[in-house]
Amino acid sequence: MFCVKKPRQWIRINRILLDANPEEFFKQTIPHEVAHLVARQIYGRSMKHGPEWRAIMRDCFGLAPDRCHSMDTSISSKRPFVYQCSCMPVKTFSLSSRMHAQIQRRPGSRFCKLCKGALVLSHIEVVEQPKQKMESLFISAGTDGLVDSDLEKVRSIVGKHQIGRLILGPGCAVSKNAERLRKLLRVEEGSCRIHPSESTLPGALTHAVLIACNGNTRASRAAEVLREKGVIVRVLSRQGAPA
């Protein structure tokens, strides 16, 4: 999150989500927030996700100006530290990591307003970390098919996500790397199918990775259509980093 509290400006990182999604953070999330900082420095307040921010994402970072991410935020508890006071019966307070760190630096710095007793750590709630999942992932490389360098790029985007259904474009299907990709992404053969036509897009998608080959603009046009339908899309350039 890009934060502003005059005169300070800073970017706040969730450590739990960073550990679970390092590729997403370094390639998309951090540039996303830095673009907010740059937009504010150049254009002033209330930039949000307007045309100025989108231009910085495209022109400075070479990234699609996605507002959304694919990370499962349920794995990150906002207030896992449970404190108690001297009240009878005992009252409990769920505090954030930031508040917990403050108390650790300055013991006795937070009090119950009722009993005036200092808050004391009782326990830390263990938050179950459910599997992150891409319900329906579409991967297309046009008619050029998949090359070796595409496999690692796609794997880094998928990360630890579990894929419910994998749909490959017909160009990917004829590639010798299609089977390698399926195994690399840990998708069962029965959960993988081939989309029949390059001229149409599959329906009911949640995520898509589109590989743009040799300056072909088809992937960019397809990405716009899918994003309008709420699909989380990454467009990859075979000549460089994600676009």
Give the full edge-to-edge strand order of the sheet including 207-212.
Answer: 192-194, 162-168, 133-140, 207-212, 232-237
Alpha-carbon distance values, 169 to 33, 68, 81, 199, 213 (Å): 32, 24, 47, 10, 14
Residue matched to tokens 């495209």: 58
- Number of Cβ atoms within 10 Å of the Cβ of 64: 19
Question: Do residues 185 and 163 lie in contact, with contact meaning Cβ atoms separated by under 8 Å?
Answer: yes
Give, to the nearest 10 degrees, the angle between helix 51-59 and helix 30-43.
Answer: 120
Asked about 33 being catalytic, the answer comes back as: yes
- Alpha-carbon gap, residue 55 to 87, rounded angstroms: 55
DSSP codes joined into one string, 145-157: ---HHHHHHHHHH
Answer whether 75's CB lies under 8 Å from 130's CB.
Answer: yes
CA distance 126 to 12: 23
Q: Side by side, which strands form the sheet with 120-124?
A: 92-95, 81-84, 120-124
Catalytic residue from among 23, 24, 33, 179: 33
Q: Which residues are catalytic?
A: 33
